[in-house]
Amino acid sequence: MANIEDYILWRGDLTINQAPFNNVDNLILSNLIYLIFKDIVPELSETKLSILDKFTGIFKQNSSQDKNYITIHDAIADMNIQTEGKNRIRVTKDIEMAIKLANTNRFGNMKLMYYVDKYDEDIETQFAAITVVMEDNTAYIAYRGTDTSLVGWKEDFNMSFMDKVPAQAEALKYLQTVSSLINMPLRIGGHSKGGNLAVYSALHIDKSVQDRIIRVYNNDGPGFKSSIIETAEYKALQDKIDTIVPQTSIIGMLLEHEEEYIVIKSNETLIMQHDPYSWEVLGADFVKMEGTTSSSHLIDTTLRQWINDMTIEQREQFIDLLWEVMGATKAKSFPEMAESLFANAVKIGKKINQLDDKSKEILSTTLSMLVKSAKNALMEGFK
């Protein structure tokens, strides 16, 4: 079945003015930010406004002499992606997609600007964003989802007990800055954690900027704590939010969502459905499903009960201990950990044995709660 790569070939000859922006375009641009654009796309910190821009607040899109953007076509060409540029991609398929994308009328001339890429182990954050300006005078702000780093995944888990993780603060700051530099309608989106960041930034931005937002896209990204979902501000924004999940979503079911899902078909199973290349496309849209599968519902119910049964303190203690144990491997990413899987498993086992009694009890109790939640979810499914 067709996916986003096939869509690029099918729809690539038509510009945004000829065929309006759609949900598939959104996924493609949210996937684009997984590429590493350092030293290629002008960064936000390097942007300097002219006196006229500062005075009027008007962004001159056609002032190419300002050197504040690069087209997708030229950015991909500058990567030399077939050779030394391979370290700029997340997975192998990103190479094929990038080349196809760059050579289309639809995407090739889109302008990339205001690139930001931050990674900080001390404050446990992984954040990247880019702005894409299209020929219809609208912009798409894309936030990167979780990469393969342990720090990136730790930040995701921190969302279960923190009111605001560093990447969310960075996302809001990015939107505040970019929205002051470009005066045009905005779309905001991301895949995985990037989808959560898109919603968070749109939710907390000034009302004047919210009024310029066309849509917010959460592509299989986690939701929020119920304290955020229940606010009047969230309810006011939710009509602009498109939450798109595969039929057996796992990541997208984490935490709470108030808005309805757009459920689409994936050709993968379980956690692999999180892969955007597995989402099936028909024409200018995804292949829609009536709802999520029983497996997704079971996992969703299990994780929700497990998280809700824990106190905020228990969540924080468990997550910190889990990462302390994995830290015994000295690995910085999951692929690095997988390179010596057996040896790292031994290191993790030794680290667990070295924990004090209180820490061991926290791990044991929390995992027992997970098993209990799974049993309860199974029993509920049989009713």
Q: Where are the domains of the chain?
A: 4-292, 299-382
Burial class (CB in 10 A: 0-12, 13-18, 19+), 339: exposed
- Please give the structure tokens belonging to residue 100: 């196809």
Gyration radius of the chain over CA positions: 21
Question: What three-state secondary structure class fits 7?
Answer: helix
pTM (2 d.p.): 0.84
pLDDT digits (tens, 9 = 90+) for 172-192: 999 999 999 999 999 999 999
DSSP conformation class of 46: G
Q: Is 192 left (phi over 0), alpha (psi -120 to 50) or beta?
A: left
Maximum Cα interatomic distance, the chain, rounded to a whole number of Å: 68
120-123, Cβ contacts within 8 angstroms, sequence gap of 24 or more: 120/151, 120/166, 121/151, 123/166
Fold (topology level) of 4-292: Rossmann fold (3.40.50)
* Residues in a beta bridge with 139: 133, 186
d(CA 76, CA 93): 14
One digit per residue, the tens of pLDDT, for the chain of length 383 reads 899 999 999 999 999 999 999 999 999 999 999 999 999 999 997 445 554 454 444 444 444 345 699 999 999 998 876 555 566 777 788 888 889 999 999 999 999 999 999 987 776 788 999 999 999 999 999 999 876 667 767 777 777 777 788 899 999 999 999 999 999 999 999 999 999 999 999 999 999 999 999 999 999 988 887 778 888 999 899 999 999 999 887 776 666 666 678 999 999 888 788 899 999 999 999 999 987 777 777 777 787 778 778 888 888 888 888 878 888 888 777 667 777 888 888 888 988 899 899 888 888 888 888 888 777 767 765 55
C-alpha neighbours within 13 Å on the C-beta side of residue 119: 14
In DSSP terms, 256 is beta-bridged to 224
Nearest to 30 by CA among 114, 175, 125, 146: 146
